[in-house]
Amino acid sequence: MNSVPAVPLTRPMPLVEWLASAAPIPYRDALATMEARAAAVIHGAAPECVWLLEHPPVYTAGTSADRSELLSPQRFPVYRTGRGGRFTYHGPGQRLAYVMLDLSARGRDVKAFVASLEDWLITTLALLGVEGERHPGQIGTFVGGAKIASIGVRVRHWVSLHGVSLNVDPELEHFSGIVPCGLKDVAITSLAVLGAETDMGRVDDALRAAFEEIFAETALSANDPTRSP
């Protein structure tokens, strides 16, 4: 597989490597690249990594997905994936952060890890002037009753795969082809709808600053702008 173009973010960080891809990455290619990096982390051959990217329009199904919740199966490519959760949409204008982190060094508590990812999203939104919240019994982040960010992870040998998605300025109508995360009566919103920041670079800066606050770590700068996770 050709390497996926990615460029490092600018601020120096020493433990977790951060990469950002400018152009949308096809889902199948991203999945293969992410799994290869997670395997390298498992074997101690690469540092932990957070990869910021977008996908072309796609529906993905988690391990709890119900086929009846795929309302428009011919609309976009559909991929079944090993992450937790149900159906979701990914597309341009939505920031994904794939996290390949070693949970052996983070307490080996998947529930606590997911809660930390929610804290990360809520803190990111706060830095962007938006008040995010949890909904009891539901995973993800909400604003005023509408969902703005989703979480779906998989853990292999205590290294995480997949991660979070934040709606910056995606085409929200595309969510109508599924029951997003199985939530029939919950609206989907975005930073654009809320009149908040939509510059992806500034959103990335907020994601990184919030990550450092929640996980109390800094990231490792990559020197090669063509490298992949």
Question: Which residue's structure tokens are 């400018």?
Answer: 22
Q: Which position among 31, 181, 188, 222 bears the catalytic label?
A: 181
49 is catalytic: no
Contacts of 185 (CB under 8 A, 6+ apart): none
Amino acid at 72: S
> What span, in angstroms and rounded, lies between the C-alpha atoms of 73 and 53?
24
Where is 142: in which H helix or E strand? strand 138-143
- Separation between Cα atoms, residue 126 and residue 141, nearest integer Å: 12
Distance CA 103, CA 193 (A): 35
Residues 6+ apart with CB under 8 A from 125: 131, 132, 141, 143, 148, 149
SS3 label, residue 178? strand
Tokens representing residue 104 in the block: 């052996």
Place of tokens 């995360």: 181
- Answer yes or no: are the C-beta atoms of 1 and 211 closer than 8 Å: no
Residues counted in the chain: 229
Catalytic residues: 181
